[in-house]
A and B are shown apart, each in its own frame.
Chain A
C-alpha cells in the first residue's frame, strides 16, 4: 500500500471509540505535520488504516466485528492491557504521539503484519487476558484498603470493596501540557509556549496571567496526550495573533492539573512523604475538585503523607492525587522537611495534629456542615 502524499489525507477508520476518544485522535492528527491524517468520519476517503480500541464495554468483540467487516484493512489496536497474543500491532495507552505515528506508518508500509487477516476470531489467550481487564503490573505504589467513603468526595468516587488493594498509577509531567505550564509558571520572565510547533500560549508568571492561542476544549484534549513536542522561550515581543482567551494563570494551572492527572500520583511524590500546604488554594475561583476543602483543611494544619491522608479522610486516593498535582502546579505544596519545620518554629508554634473533638461538639459541627451544604 502506498502512502498518500501530504495533500491527500490518510483516512483512518476507527472502532470502539466514543466521541471523547475520537476527539483525542482528531487532535493528534491535527497536530501531526509530517503526514495529513483524517478520521474516516470527517473525510469521505477510502480508509487506508484503522485504529481499534478494545477497552470499551464490548471489549474484543469490537475487534471481531471490525475484522469481519474489514478483513484486509490493516489496523492498530489501542489498549491499556496489551497482550503477547494480539492479532495486530498494539499501542499501549496512554496514547503517545511519538509512538502512534510510527506505528501507523509501519502499518501503512507493511500491512502484512496484520496477522488477523485470516483469523477473525480473537485468540483464546487474548480473550482470557482481556476479560476482565487486569491491572497494570508496574512497580507502582499501592495503598492499603480504606474504610467506605463519605462526605463530599463520595459522590465522585465510589468506595472500594472491602479488602481491595489499589495500585496507584503515576503521572509523569514530562512531555505534557501540565509540565510545560508548570515550568513556565516558575520562570521570572514572560514565556512563549509552543506545542507541536504551534503557538500555544504566552505566560506572564509575574502578573499571573496567561493568553491562550487555542480553545479550552483543545487544551483539555491535549492534556490527555503524552510525548508532545513542546517548547518554551522568553517572550521577546507579543505575538501578532490575537489570543483566543486570556485568563488567570492559577485558574489554568489548576484546571490543567485536573485534566492531566486524572487520579494518578504525580511523579516524584512518595506516598509516605509528609506533605503540607503553604497556603490554601483560592478554591472559590478554581475548578471544583471533590473533597478539596477537606484535603486543604488537613494538609494546611498537619504534615501528612498521602497514605495517611487516605486513611484519615476516608477518601479514595484519586481526588487526593488530583489535589497534589493541582496545588503543586500553583506552588502551594511542600514536603514537610526539616527546613520547613525550622521556619515554622520561628513563628507561632506549629499547629498540633487534630485531636478528636468531643462527641457533642463533633455532632454539632457535623450537623452544621450538613445544614450549610444543603442550603
Chain B
C-alpha cells in the first residue's frame, strides 16, 4: 500500500458537518478551502467548502492517515474518483434537515459506487434534533435494498465522541477482530 493510500473520505451535502468532523480528528489545523457560497448553497451556509477539506492523523513519524472531505457540489464530481483511490472507507454525513435526505443518500451512493465495491461505508445522520425523520431505520431500509448493511448512527458533527464512533465502526466493518 502506498503511503498516500491511507485515507478516509468524508462525503455529504453542504452543511452536513464534514469540515467539523475532520477538525475534530485531525492532528493539524484542517486545511479548508472555503469560499462564499454559490447560488446552490446560499440558503444553507454563508461559506462552504468549494474544493476539499484536508486533515491528517499521525500514527507515527512515518505513517499518516489522510482525512479528506469531499465537496458537496456536483460540479466537483471529477475529484471524487481521484480521492477514492485506495481509500480505507467512506464516511457519509447526511443532513436530516435538507429537503430530500434520502435523495442525498442515493446521490452519494452512486457517486462513490466504485469505492464502495471494495471499501466499507458508514453513515452519520446529523441534525436529527431538528428533523427526526428519516430515521436510521428508514435509511437502513433503503440501503438494504442495495444489499448494504452499513453502520448508520445519529451524530452531532461537533461531538468528537460521535465522530470517533463513526471511524471505529468503519474499522470494525473491515475487521471486527481488530485490536486497538
Contact = CB atoms under 8 A, between A and B. Distances in A.
A357 B175 contact: yes
Contact of B59 (A283, A300, A368): A368
Interface stretch (B11-19, B94-102, B143-151): B143-151
Interface string A283-304: 1110000000111111011000
B145 A280 contact: no
B159 to A, nearest CB: 8
B176 A280 contact: no
A109 interface: no
B146 A282 contact: no
Interface string B39-72: 0000000000000000001011001010000000
Interface residues of B, number: 43
B172 A282 contact: no
Interface stretch (A78-86, A224-232, A343-351): A343-351
A360 interface: yes
A294 B174 contact: no
A295 B176 CA distance: 7
B32 interface: no
| B63, B144, B147, B164: residue with the most chain A Cβ atoms closer than 10 Å | B147
B84 to A, nearest CB: 17
A344 B165 contact: no
Contacts of B145: 347
A194 interface: no
Interface in B117-174: 135-137, 140, 144-155, 160-162, 164-165, 167-169, 171-174
B154 A279 contact: no
Contacts of B161: 284
Interface string A317-352: 000000000000000000000000000100111010
B82 interface: no
A369 B144 CA distance: 27
A370 B60 CA distance: 12
Interface string B6-44: 100000000000000000010000000000000000000
A279 B140 contact: yes
B1 A361 contact: yes
Nearest to B135: A208
B149 A364 contact: no
Contacts of B153: 280, 282-285
B93 interface: no
Contact of B172 (A297, A357, A375): A297
Contact of B144 (A285, A347, A360): A347
A67 to B, nearest CB: 51
Contacts of B165: 283-284, 293
Given A365-B88, A372-B164, A277 B178 contact: no
A35 interface: no
A368 B176 contact: no
A372 B149 contact: no
A20 interface: no
Nearest to B154: A285
Nearest to B172: A297
B149 A301 contact: yes
Given A280-B151, A284-B162, A369 B178 contact: yes
Contacts of A361: 1
A182 interface: no
Nearest to A309: B176
Which of A151, A364, A368 has most chain B Cβ within 10 Å?
Answer: A368
Contacts of A351: 149
A278 B149 contact: yes
Nearest to A280: B151
B174 A348 contact: no
Contacts of B160: 375
A294 B1 contact: no
Contacts of B176: 294-295, 297-298, 301, 312-313, 354
A26 interface: no
Contacts of A362: 175, 178
Contacts of B151: 280, 283, 293, 296, 300
A367 interface: yes
A347 B144 CA distance: 8
A282 B136 contact: yes
A188 interface: no
Nearest to A151: B179
Nearest to A284: B153
A285 B135 CA distance: 13
The list of the 6 closest CB pairs from A to B, nearest first, reads A348-B147, A369-B180, A297-B172, A347-B147, A297-B176, A298-B176
Interface of B: 1, 6, 25, 57, 59-60, 63, 65, 88, 135-137, 140, 144-155, 160-162, 164-165, 167-169, 171-180
6 contacts: A297-B172, A297-B173, A300-B149, A344-B147, A348-B147, A354-B175
Given A284-B154, A373-B180, 15 more contacts: A278-B149, A279-B144, A285-B153, A294-B172, A294-B176, A297-B172, A314-B177, A344-B147, A361-B1, A365-B175, A367-B63, A369-B168, A369-B178, A371-B65, A375-B25
